[in-house]
Amino acid sequence: MEQKVLEKYAQLLVKKGINIQKNQILVINCPVECAEFARVITKIAYDEGAKEVFINWSDEIITQLRYLHATDEVFDEYPEWMKVFYLNNAEKDAAFLSISATNPELLKDVDSNRITRYQKVSSKAIEEYRNKQMSNKLTWCIASIPTTSWAKKVFPNVSDEKAKEKLWDAIIKTVRVDQDDPKIAWDEHLKNLNKSSKSLNESHFKMLKFHNKLGTDLSIELPEGHIWLGGAEITPNGIVFIANIPTEEVFTLPKKTGVNGIVYSSKPLNYNGNLIEDFSITFKEGKIVDFKAKTGYETLQSLIETDEGSHYLGEVALVSYDSPISKSNILFFNTLFDENASCHLAIGRAYPVCIKNSEGKDAEELNKMGVNNSSTHVDFMFGTKDLQIIGITHDNKEVAIFKDGNFII
Ligand code: ZN
Ligand code: ZN
């Protein structure tokens, strides 16, 4: 990609995404294949007054080799130095920028038990960091640039180079870096997302009902005091940041025990380097009581069985079928993009910022308010062109929210 475009994109991530502050530490999680981009980001971050930039490199081949060949016991312990790295930087109010660019099938030959175990110990070890992240007490942003293996999964029928070029093109468009001034384009976009969340908040729905021809027939109760969010986030100190670039969703939390019916996936889910495809999940009083998958059943099972909270939902997000990412008609095999092309739900933990008066409450108190807790939070897509959503108000009026896949309020 041209240097000019890389710079334009990096400017957006540093200034609008994490909104770096003077004298703030920046932590970048980045694949080595994307090193050139990390250097551009680092330079801009220093120009903007960052105190220091730390890079946490990863390499997917080495990750794969580790899962295949490392001694079994390493998957039950999270390295102390890594824990210190995250907690220490979180304590110093660092900003965290992650470049998400994984090969969707990286770990398909790996024993899924190893992945699940390591997932568990790592989320437990850095729980404090996650808590801060999920309550927006630190600034964070996830964005992507292409890697060859990922691009080839998205565009399998062209050369490596062409595949990367096509994925670059798609990403640049979805993050609005093709516009003259991406920052102005984002301000406009954030305003629109705000409008949707505002009208949903003013409606105070007590329940949402979802139907489509795939077979989804789901009702989701919303807890008292729930808040719809979308677009920019804000820290308690008033720093505005964008946690996902791109983002097209407005979201809130379901009442933990208020989900009933069945939901069918509408896109494959890339979870921990494995794909789960054509799956359905059945809920009773919030709990997952049954699930099926044509591909990746065991991966879905290991996700659902992560802990008690991963048997419940933590997020319901609405995205118009006509969103620009959806219109691109590209299946990205990367949740950051696919979730922004489709209505989605998250298995696992809810964002406490999605409910009033959550500040200072512990997990048990939050649970009573209907806020699910888990060590995991994984979005999966179920939106379709024919999805209908009806909202039920406290005086039992039915209001159409989505008709034929799109917002109508
Ligand atoms: Zn979401
Ligand atoms: Zn989510």
Measure 193 CA to ligand 1 centroid, in angstroms.
13
Measure 277 CA to ligand 1 centroid, in angstroms.
19
Measure 93 CA to ligand 1 centroid, in angstroms.
24
Nearest residue to 341 via CA among 324, 360, 357: 324
How many separate domains does the chain show? Answer: 2
Measure 86 CA to ligand 1 centroid, in angstroms.
23
Query: At which of 128, 154, 174 does a domain end?
Result: 174
Measure 3 CA to ligand 2 centroid, in angstroms.
32
Is there a single domain that holds both residue 158 and residue 224?
A: no
Is there a single domain that holds both residue 160 and residue 12?
A: yes
Q: What count of Cα atoms within 13 Å lies in the side-chain half-sphere of residue 352?
A: 22
Instruction: Tell me which H or E stretch contains 400.
Output: strand 398-403
Does residue 167 lie within any of the structural domains? yes
State residue 246's pLDDT score.
Answer: 96
State residue 347's pLDDT score.
Answer: 98
Measure 377 CA to ligand 2 centroid, in angstroms.
6
Is there a single domain that holds both residue 219 and residue 96?
A: no
pLDDT tens-place values along the chain, 409 residues long: 899 999 999 999 999 999 999 999 999 999 999 999 999 999 999 999 999 999 999 999 999 999 999 999 999 999 999 999 999 999 999 999 999 998 988 998 999 889 989 988 998 999 999 989 988 999 999 999 999 999 999 999 999 999 999 999 999 999 999 999 999 999 999 999 999 999 999 999 999 999 999 999 999 999 999 999 999 999 999 999 999 999 999 999 999 999 999 999 999 999 988 999 999 999 999 999 999 999 999 999 999 999 999 999 999 999 999 888 998 889 999 999 999 999 999 999 999 999 999 988 988 999 999 999 998 999 999 999 999 999 999 999 999 999 999 998 8
Does residue 196 lie within any of the structural domains? no
Does residue 358 lie within any of the structural domains? yes
Measure 66 CA to ligand 1 centroid, in angstroms.
30
Is there a single domain that holds both residue 12 and residue 148?
A: yes
Tokens of 66: 């580790």
115 CB-near residues (< 8 Å, 6+ apart): 67, 107, 272, 273, 274, 302
Measure 249 CA to ligand 1 centroid, in angstroms.
6
Does residue 181 lie within any of the structural domains? no
Measure 181 CA to ligand 2 centroid, in angstroms.
28
Measure 156 CA to ligand 2 centroid, in angstroms.
28
Contact between residue 24 and residue 14 where contact means Cβ atoms under 8 Å apart: no
379 alpha carbon, closest ligand: 2
State residue 136's pLDDT score.
Answer: 92
Is there a single domain that holds both residue 303 and residue 350?
A: yes
CATH number at residue 153: 3.40.1830.10
Measure 45 CA to ligand 1 centroid, in angstroms.
27
State residue 354's pLDDT score.
Answer: 96
Measure 70 CA to ligand 2 centroid, in angstroms.
31
Measure 349 CA to ligand 2 centroid, in angstroms.
9
Is there a single domain that holds both residue 102 and residue 164?
A: yes
For residue 215, give its domain range: 204-229+247-407
**Backbone angles phi and psi of 15, in degrees to 5:** -85, -40
Please identify which residue in the block is written with the tokens 């379709």: 384
Is there a single domain that holds both residue 25 and residue 168?
A: yes
Compute the CA torsion angle 173, 175, 180, 186 (nearest 10 deg).
140
List C-alpha distances in Å: 168 to 1, 6, 114, 164, 328. 7, 10, 33, 6, 13
Does residue 43 lie within any of the structural domains? yes
Is there a single domain that holds both residue 373 and residue 281?
A: yes
d(CA 292, CA 283): 12
Inter-helix orientation angle 112-125/127-134, to 10° = 70
Please identify which residue in the block is written with the tokens 């109760």: 221
Please identify which residue in the block is written with the tokens 């997020």: 315
Measure 357 CA to ligand 1 centroid, in angstroms.
21
Measure 140 CA to ligand 2 centroid, in angstroms.
14
Measure 11 CA to ligand 2 centroid, in angstroms.
25
Please identify which residue in the block is written with the tokens 């807790």: 373
